[in-house]
Amino acid sequence: MAAIQTFGLTKEYRSRLPRPRTPTAARALDDLTLDVRNGEVFGFLGPNGAGKTTMIRLLLGFLHPTSGQATVLGLDTERRSVEIRQRVGYLPGGIALYDGLSGERLLDYLAGLYGRPAPRRRELLDRLEFSDRDLRRPVRDYSRGMRQKIGIVQALQHDPELAILDEPSEGLDPLVQRAFYAILDDLRGAGRTVFFSSHVLSEVERLCDRVAIIRRGQLVALEEVESLLARRKRNVEMRLAGPPPILDGVPGVSGLTIADGLVTCQLEGDVGPFLQAIAGHSISDLTIEPAHLEEAFLEFYADELGLADWGRSTRQVAETSREEATAPSVVDR
């Protein structure tokens, strides 16, 4: 059984304005069919306004589909949304909280609405570095990052079978982001399913088993992250201390240039033949850039889908994260 299944899910927003002023309804989601397997971390990607939040709200029964249907944990979202929400943890994007309550009281209240204990609260608070002192402060005094942390805790404290997280790492500092990613890894390890939306491809690359890309309400790609990355061309840069190796004709190598002792090329697929070709040559430095999802994605989909703008913005994020993540290395993947 899939954790989430949608069949031709469509949502149109109709304006309440008088008819002559609203010639058409806005279609936020268009014939979306996908499934999320049990136990996987599934990334739901798209630029702002693509329909990610609409999809999540349909899954939780906040919105009613114009056509099509969806099931969550085998339950119909239209008829059994209360049962669904009993088994799901949800983090809304830009979560709003009851500002007058302390963090502790807020978590007690939200857990109480489930009518069962919150066994993971202490562990989550510790991992997200949320102190007891902060927990006793009113929510109104919290920074954006603290609100997001409390949002994550309230979504996961009751140990749900499925976590639906809307842009969960927004506002978290890099260290807490890392802790959050580890929490998601553990959820996967425990057989829980995680469905999360993001517009940051590097995050999805790091966490997800599969990724769906949505644009203007339509599903444009649904792939295993690994397979997408495996098809990606890596950028190779090699500084020579002797005669250059012969790379012409090596399988997977393309775009070869050699100038002033610096060899650059692109490498696709298995790195074995390339490593064999350079073995025994005097090389002072070698960098093979990891295959990043945004570049892989843009390479395969951007032109046909006109995603150049998205690519530019996400590439900046990717380059920042790459600087952090990739210490100089010989072979990264």
Partner 1 sequence: MNATLFLQTWRFQRIKLLAVLAGLAIWGFLMPVIYSQFGVQFKKLFDSGIIPKQFAEFGEGDVFSLPGSISLGFIHPISLLLNGIFAVGFASAAIAGERQRGTLEVLLARPISRRGVHATLYISLLVFLGMSVGAILVGNIAGAVLFGVVDQLNLSRVPVLWLNGVLLFGAIGSIGLAASVSFDRLTPALGVTLTVVLVSYFLEILGSLWPDAKGLQPYSLFFYLKPRAILTGQTDLFSFGLLLTITLAAIGYALAIFPRRDLAAPS
Take residue 238 and report the two structure tokens written for it. Answer: 């090699």
How many residues are listed for the chain in this entry? 333
Smallest separation, CB 84 to partner 1 (Å) = 8
Beta partners for residue 287, in sequence order:
237
Strands, E assignment, the chain: 4-13, 26-36, 41-45, 67-72, 75-76, 88-91, 162-166, 193-198, 210-215, 218-224, 233-240, 253-259, 262-268, 283-288
Q: Which of 10, 38, 69, 86 binds partner 1 (CB under 8 A)?
A: 86
Residue 300 binds partner 1 (CB under 8 A): no
Angle CA(85)–CA(87)–CA(90) in degrees, nearest 5?
55
CA distance 267 to 274: 8
- At which residue do the structure tokens 């057989």 appear? 191
Q: Which is nearer to partner 1, 83 or 299 (CB)?
A: 83
Residue 93 binds partner 1 (CB under 8 A): yes
Q: Which of 6, 77, 154, 193 binds partner 1 (CB under 8 A)?
A: 154
Q: Which is nearer to partner 1, 24 or 257 (CB)?
A: 24
Residue 94 binds partner 1 (CB under 8 A): yes
Contact flags string 30-69 toward partner 1, x per CB under 8 A: -----------------------xx--x--x-xxx-----
Contact flags string 185-214 toward partner 1, x per CB under 8 A: ------------------------------
Smallest separation, CB 192 to partner 1 (Å) = 17
CA distance 145 to 2: 33
Binding residues vs partner 1 (CB under 8 A): 13, 53-54, 57, 60, 62-64, 82-83, 85-86, 88, 90, 92-98, 100, 109-110, 112-115, 154
